């Protein structure tokens, strides 16, 4: 998420503000956080070091016994020797961007997610992407992100020259070249119309790209035009989003998406209109998907303009110009952060969300941590990410949501892998909570509340609380 290449980098939010509005960039935040399904990564901007947090240490590219589960461990291999400027994580693969604009990759590679020209297992250690699909050196990157759709997954990079590159499985039109897509084991360029220079990309079921002139472009979506917001049947090429004003930020890419204009007005589009506070009907009676992005200002009713917007797979979070943090959307895993979620003791199955949509919608924005007035960043993710992090100007981290893989930085780890698989929502943190991952010295294993009541049945018999 960082821009000036090759020697000076700013945060992507600063980049977008600088490029689109001409304002001076804000100072780099204390941390940058990249969220994947089973792993969370934190860049300490004062040192440039990259750390992973998970119940599985190998997701941080280290041996299974090279650290403590649920506590930060420095990512192994090549990234240890570089200053890391950006990080992204998907469902089973991750990316890091170093000070030279080079991309390091590790994790799953069955669809060529490594970008190294192969689908073979590359082992634990990160590898550097040396060349693109044309045999040219792959460098000059300023932002990386991961995507995951119903049937494909991969990665996207933005270069300092404003070009966009994609690799992995690009079916569902993600390739952007007029074809449905295929497996790309090395980065291939996506050609944006009119020679537009892209400064930020987010992706899920569709790709959303913000250009330096404030225009927004979308493609992908497997022929589901409502996800694109462009009212076109062509999902295999980038098309311009019809917005009345220049945009300064983008978010989403799954079943609900956003563009934020220069005046802090938020525009939304997609299938899940109730997730965006459109109308008043709730999930069962949500309004139809709009043909073009809809101004959400009246529906949201926020007290100040929006400064930035981020989504995870279920919810939306915004920081307003007064430094307050607000959230809305589906709260099935405590993703909103307001202290509420379904009663999983009475849920069927118990302590296991069944992935159904709209199960506990928060239909109007709620303010989170109302005593805090200096939020500067909120971090989400679209690859089955059901948790979030936020950061204040003083460097305080907050986290909330699903903690199935011990990703919340609070040192809580689930009892055993079998118990975690059976009762994954046992460790949810539904209320936004201050955390200090780097101050932790040991973890705290906890079993499922269900296992406390049924300690002798399998898999609960694998753990005994002390």
Tell me the pLDDT tens digit for each residue of 95-108: 999 999 999 999 99
pLDDT at 7: 31
Any idea which residue has 């049937």 for tokens?
151
Separation of alpha carbons 321 and 337, rounded Å: 20
Q: Is the pLDDT of residue 198 over 60?
A: yes
d(CA 393, CA 352): 36
Shortest CA distance to 319 belongs to which of 421, 255, 388? 388
Q: In the prediction, which pLDDT does 150 show?
A: 83
**Model pLDDT, residue 5:** 30
Residue 203's pLDDT is 97
- pLDDT value at residue 50: 98
* Residue-wise pLDDT tens digits, 108-140: 999 999 999 999 999 999 999 999 999 999 999
Q: What is the pLDDT of residue 12?
A: 41
Burial class from Cβ neighbours inside 10 Å (0-12, 13-18, 19+) for residue 283 reads: middle
The answer to whether the CB of 261 falls within 8 A of the CB of 247 is: yes
Mean pLDDT calculated for residue range 173-200: 96
SS3 390: strand
Out of 169-173, 202-206, 460-464, pick the least confident: 460-464
What number of CA atoms fall less than 13 Å from residue 153's CA on the CB side? Answer: 21
Burial 417-439 (b: 16+ CB within 10 A, else e): eebbebbbbbbbbbbbbebebee
CA 84 – CA 121 distance, rounded (Å): 24
At 6 the pLDDT is 33
Q: What is the pLDDT of residues 432-458, one digit of tens each?
A: 999 999 999 999 999 999 999 999 989
In the prediction, which pLDDT does 4 show? 32
At residue 399, the 3 state secondary structure works out as strand
What is the predicted pLDDT for the residue at 151? 87
Q: Select from 319, 322, 310, 320 the least CA-distant residue to 401.
A: 310
pLDDT at 20: 54
How confident is residue 26, by pLDDT bands cut at 50, 70 and 90?
A: low
Provide the 10 A C-beta neighbour count for residue 184.
23
Backbone angles phi, psi at 437, to 5 degrees: -55, -35
* pLDDT for the residue 257: 98
Q: Looking at the predicted structure, is the pLDDT value of residue 330 above 60?
A: yes
The pLDDT tens digits for 49-65 are: 999 999 999 999 999 99
Tally helices (H) and strands (E) across the chain: 4, 30
Model confidence at 82: pLDDT above 60? yes
Distance (Å, rounded) from C-alpha 146 to C-alpha 61? 17
pLDDT of amino acid 1: 35
Residue 199 confidence (pLDDT) above 90: yes
The model's pLDDT over 273-309, given as tens digits with 9 standing for 90+, comes to 999 999 888 898 999 999 999 999 999 999 999 999 9
Distance CA 342, CA 322 (A): 31
pLDDT tens digits along 304-317: 999 999 999 999 99
Cβ-Cβ contacts under 8 Å for 355 (sequence gap 6 or more): none
Whether residue 21 is predicted with pLDDT greater than 70 in this model: the reply is no
pLDDT given for residue 23 in this prediction: 53
Q: Return the domain boundaries, the chain.
A: 12-462
Q: How confident is the model at residue 27 (pLDDT cuts 50, 70, 90)?
A: confident
- Please provide the average confidence, as pLDDT, over all residues in the chain: 93
pLDDT for 290 equals 95
How much is the pLDDT for 170? 96
User: Is the pLDDT confidence value at 22 over 60?
Assistant: no
**pLDDT band for position 17 (cuts 50, 70, 90):** very low
Instruction: Decide the pairing of beta strands 40-44 and 361-368.
Output: unpaired
As a whole-number percent, the residues of the chain with pLDDT over 70 amount to: 94
For domain 12-462, which CATH number applies: 2.130.10.30, 1.10.10.10, 2.20.25.10, 2.60.34.30?
Answer: 2.130.10.30
Give pTM, 2 decimals: 0.94
CA-based max dimension of the chain: 65
Flag whether pLDDT at 70 surpasses 60. yes
pLDDT of 205 above 90? yes
Report the C-alpha gap between 444 and 427 in whole angstroms.
12
> How much of the chain exceeds pLDDT 90, in percent?
91
pLDDT at 158 > cutoff 50: yes
């Amino acid at each position: 998420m960082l821009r000036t290449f090759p020697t000076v980098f700013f945060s992507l939010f600063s980049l977008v503000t600088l490029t689109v509005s001409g304002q001076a960039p804000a100072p780099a935040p204390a941390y940058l956080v990249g969220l994947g399904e089973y792993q969370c990564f934190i860049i300490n901007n004062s040192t440039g070091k990259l750390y992973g947090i998970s119940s599985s240490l190998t997701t941080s590219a280290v041996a299974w016994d090279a650290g403590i589960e649920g506590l930060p461990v420095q990512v192994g291999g090549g990234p240890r020797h570089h200053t890391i400027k950006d990080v992204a994580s998907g469902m089973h693969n991750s990316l890091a961007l170093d000070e030279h604009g080079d991309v390091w990759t590790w994790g799953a590679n069955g669809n060529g997610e490594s970008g190294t020209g192969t689908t073979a297992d590359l082992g634990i250690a990160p590898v550097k992407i040396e060349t693109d699909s044309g045999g040219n050196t792959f460098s000059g990157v300023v932002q990386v992100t991961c995507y995951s759709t119903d049937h494909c997954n991969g990665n996207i990079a933005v270069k300092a020259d404003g070009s966009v590159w994609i690799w992995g499985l690009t079916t569902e039109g993600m390739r952007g070249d007029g074809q449905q897509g295929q497996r790309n084991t090395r980065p291939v360029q996506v050609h944006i119309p009119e020679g537009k220079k892209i400064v930020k990309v987010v992706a899920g079921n569709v790709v959303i790209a913000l250009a330096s002139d404030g225009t927004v472009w979308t493609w992908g979506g497997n022929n589901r035009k409502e996800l694109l917001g462009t009212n076109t049947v062509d999902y295999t090429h980038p098309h311009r989003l019809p917005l009345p004003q220049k945009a300064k930020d983008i978010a989403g890419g799954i079943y609900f998406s956003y563009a934020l204009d220069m005046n802090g007005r938020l525009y939304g589009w997609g299938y899940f209109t109730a997730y965006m506070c459109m109308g008043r009907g709730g999930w069962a009676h949500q309004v139809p998907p709009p043909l073009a992005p809809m101004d959400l200002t009246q529906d949201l009713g926020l007290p100040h303009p929006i400064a930035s917007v981020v989504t995870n797979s279920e919810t939306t979070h915004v920081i307003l110009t007064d430094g307050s943090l607000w959230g809305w959307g589906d709260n099935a895993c405590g993703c909103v952060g307001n202290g509420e979620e379904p009663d999983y003791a009475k849920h069927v199955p118990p302590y296991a969300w069944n992935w159904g949509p709209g199960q506990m919608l928060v239909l109007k924005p709620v303010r989170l941590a109302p005593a805090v007035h200096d939020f500067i960043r909120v971090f989400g993710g679209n690859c089955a990410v059901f948790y979030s992090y936020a950061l204040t100007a003083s460097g305080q981290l907050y986290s909330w949501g699903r903690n199935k893989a011990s990703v919340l930085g609070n040192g809580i780890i689930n009892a055993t892998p079998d118990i975690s698989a059976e009762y994954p929502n046992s460790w949810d943190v539904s209320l936004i909570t201050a955390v200090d991952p780097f101050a932790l010295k040991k973890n705290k294993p906890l079993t499922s509340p269900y296992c406390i009541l049924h300690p002798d049945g399998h898999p609960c018999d694998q753990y005994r609380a002390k």
